[in-house]
Amino acid sequence: MNEVNCDCGMNDCFPGCGCEILTFLGKKWSVYIIMHLMEIQQLRFNEFLKYMQKLGPKSLSTRLKEAENLELLNRSVETDSPVKVSYSLTKKGIELGNLLKKMKNLVHSWTD
């Protein structure tokens, strides 16, 4: 296997190992963004800020760009006046969201 340089801290990384996604999920707000899009399907930037009041615009912008680069979400631009930008999950993002839902349900079952 070809090793790749990665900042996830693992010594045995290889192309396609998924550590980029795991690193993203470990960052503050990442899981919440995915979960909100699972519930609402499509959100605009200010709607995220409304639903997630402790999340600042700079952090949101960073996480959205990271998720887009990982092909977890689509960024859609409507060129009307004013310009409207909205975000929705890709197929890959939906699959990840479904897994996160299962994890959430598992954790809830532990508290019953």
pLDDT at position 3 is 46
Q: Is residue 5 part of a domain?
A: no
CB 75 within 8 A of CB 64: yes
pLDDT of residue 80: 84
- Of 57, 52, 47, the closest CA to residue 88 belongs to 47
| pLDDT value of residue 18 | 76
Give residue 74's pLDDT: 96
Confidence at residue 69, expressed as pLDDT on a 0 to 100 scale: 94
Confidence (pLDDT) at 37: 95
Residue 3 placed within a domain: no
Whether residue 93 is contained in a domain is answered as yes
Which residues form the domain of 99?
A: 19-110
Q: Residue 24: which CATH number?
A: 1.10.10.10
Q: Residue holding tokens 């909205």?
A: 86
Q: What is the pLDDT of residue 13?
A: 65
Question: In whole angstroms, what is the distance from residue 102 CA to residue 36 CA?
Answer: 15
| pLDDT (0 to 100) of residue 12 | 66
Mean pLDDT by 10 residues, the chain (112 residues): 54 70 91 93 91 90 95 92 92 96 91 78
Number of separate domains in the chain: 1
The predicted model scores a pTM of 0.81
